[in-house]
Amino acid sequence: MTIKEFAKEIGVSPATLDRVLNNRGNVKRETYEKVMEKIKELNYMPNKSASFLARMNDFSMAIVFPEHPDYFWKQVEKGIQVAIDEFRDFGLSVSIFRSEGYDLEPQKQMVQQLIDSGKYEAIALSPNDPLDMAELIDDGVDKGITICTFNSDSPLSKRLFYVGCDYRIAGRLAADALCKFLGGRTRIGLVMSYTNFQMQQKITGFREVVDEYDHIEMIGPLRLRQEDYDSPEVFADYFREVDGIYVSSARLDVVAKHLDELGIEQRPILIGHDMTEETKMYMERGIITATICQDPVNQGYLTVKSMFDHLVNGQKVGLKENITKLELVTKENALYYI
């Protein structure tokens, strides 16, 4: 239904209806209420594409995320590309930037350059360190740039919205699955890297559930630097101390490789996050019991779509957190996640 047709249906002029739909004011209270009541009755939704064409605006968006782990971000990028193809004809141009390594400073420098360039109406960011990045996000927002976060949130910043999973729930799911997989065994371990906000949320949720099992004892955790993952000997003693291990970092396949090569007679149950060809292989060989996937393709797509909707409508986002689903994957359904 066009604006003209809808205005005729309600009994007002197209100009009056346009003022109501776009919150431009200068409409009598009774007329406003009449229009809104009819909108609700007819379940009328403005056409976003038509709204854009009426404004004839172009929008430039930058997307920034780390280069590691490469397998994960390639899946996110698939979703981003789907959204780019969908919205390209409506004036949205998207530039992708991958920040170096896991370090914060190169990413901060990159985001600062994007803000200072003045080329972008919007920036979507997956911050390496959400707390340290908050001030920079706020600076960009104060300069009139719409900024959202995805995959990794910065909730204390002025970011417009977040797209990604709930990491506390991810940790809870990991603990619940691991404790159930243990059967009659009692000792569980936790492999973790640096404690950023994302990692803190996972571990908080994991410990919450473990504490609910009176017979379960937690050993560790094993705290590692990124370079430690290359050394099998770092894991050897810990593997022999526990009956089950949760890998909270993005290195599940690397930990599985070391567990396999060490040839421990009574191997601990191993669960972690994300899916790669290597993860699937270790599942088929019985080294990895399960992994938790966080819908990376949809994260990429929803980030671009949500930003496009906001830029076109010029309205506040209803959902401050667009939480994507978590799914427990075993060897029986692993092929659907590659």
pLDDT tens digits, one per residue of 237-274: 999 999 999 999 999 999 999 999 998 888 999 999 99
Lowest model confidence (mean pLDDT) among 45-54, 73-82, 155-164, 185-194: 45-54
pLDDT in tens, 266-302: 899 999 999 999 999 999 999 999 999 999 999 999 9
Give mean pLDDT, residues 179-198. 90
Task: Provide CB contacts within 8 A for 163, sequence distance 6+.
Answer: 148, 149, 150, 151, 299, 302, 303, 306, 322, 324
> Are residues 196 and 284 located together in one domain of the fold?
yes
Q: Report if residue 336 sits inside a domain.
A: no
By CB atoms closer than 10 A (0-12, 13-18, 19+), residue 26 is exposed
Paired sense of beta strands 290-293 and 327-329, if any: antiparallel
Q: Report if residue 301 sits inside a domain.
A: yes
Looking at per-residue confidence, does 272 or 34 come out higher?
272
Q: Report if residue 335 sits inside a domain.
A: no
Mean pLDDT of the chain: 89
Looking at per-residue confidence, does 101 or 131 come out higher?
131
> Are residues 302 and 159 located together in one domain of the fold?
yes
Domain hosting 17: range is: 3-45
> Are residues 207 and 289 located together in one domain of the fold?
yes
pLDDT over 80 (residue 56): no
Q: Report if residue 116 sits inside a domain.
A: yes
Give me the amino acid identity at 120.
Y
Give me the amino acid identity at 302.
L
Q: Report if residue 338 sits inside a domain.
A: no
> Are residues 157 and 301 located together in one domain of the fold?
yes
> Are residues 97 and 146 located together in one domain of the fold?
yes
Q: What CATH number has the domain bearing residue 98?
A: 3.40.50.2300
> Are residues 160 and 302 located together in one domain of the fold?
yes
* Total count of domains within the chain: 3
> Are residues 40 and 183 located together in one domain of the fold?
no
Q: Report if residue 155 sits inside a domain.
A: yes
Q: In sequence order, what are the beta bridge partners of 223?
A: 192
pLDDT in tens, 200-210: 999 999 999 99
Give me the amino acid identity at 96.
I
> Are residues 171 and 282 located together in one domain of the fold?
yes
Label residue 11 by pLDDT band (50, 70, 90).
Answer: confident
Q: What is the pLDDT of residue 78?
A: 96
Q: Report if residue 320 sits inside a domain.
A: yes
Q: What is the pLDDT of residue 216?
A: 94
The fraction of the chain above a pLDDT of 70, given in percent, is: 92
> Are residues 39 and 63 located together in one domain of the fold?
no
> Are residues 189 and 96 located together in one domain of the fold?
no
Give mean pLDDT, residues 123-152. 95
Q: Report if residue 77 sits inside a domain.
A: yes
Label residue 46 by pLDDT band (50, 70, 90).
Answer: low
